[in-house]
């Protein structure tokens, strides 16, 4: 992970380190949303959208409109 010295200076981080920070933040927010019972949206490799529920189940989102 990112060492403590670099965490203190955002502008010294590499692009990869920025990406790692953002990915970790997104994972934390998704987990918090699921704890609160809020579904999140996921996209599969074919571009199909799904709701991910707090119990881990997926519900397809109908995009036929």
Domain span at 21? 4-60
pLDDT higher for 52 or 5?
52
pLDDT one-digit tens code per residue, 18-57: 999 999 999 999 999 999 999 999 999 999 999 999 999 9
- Rounded Cα gap, residues 28 and 20, in angstroms: 12
The pLDDT value given to residue 20 = 93
Q: Place 13 in a pLDDT band, splitting at 50, 70 and 90.
A: confident
For residue 65, being part of any structural domain is answered with no
For residue 27, being part of any structural domain is answered with yes
The pLDDT value given to residue 28 = 96
Number of domains the chain contains: 1
For residue 17, being part of any structural domain is answered with yes
5 pLDDT more than 80 = no
């Amino acid at each position: 992970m990112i060492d403590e010295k670099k965490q203190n200076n955002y502008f010294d981080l590499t692009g990869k380190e920025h990406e790692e920070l953002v990915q970790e933040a997104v994972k934390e927010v998704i987990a918090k949303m699921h704890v609160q019972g809020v579904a999140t949206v996921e996209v599969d490799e074919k571009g199909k959208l799904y709701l991910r529920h707090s119990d881990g189940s997926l519900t397809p989102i109908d995009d036929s409109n």
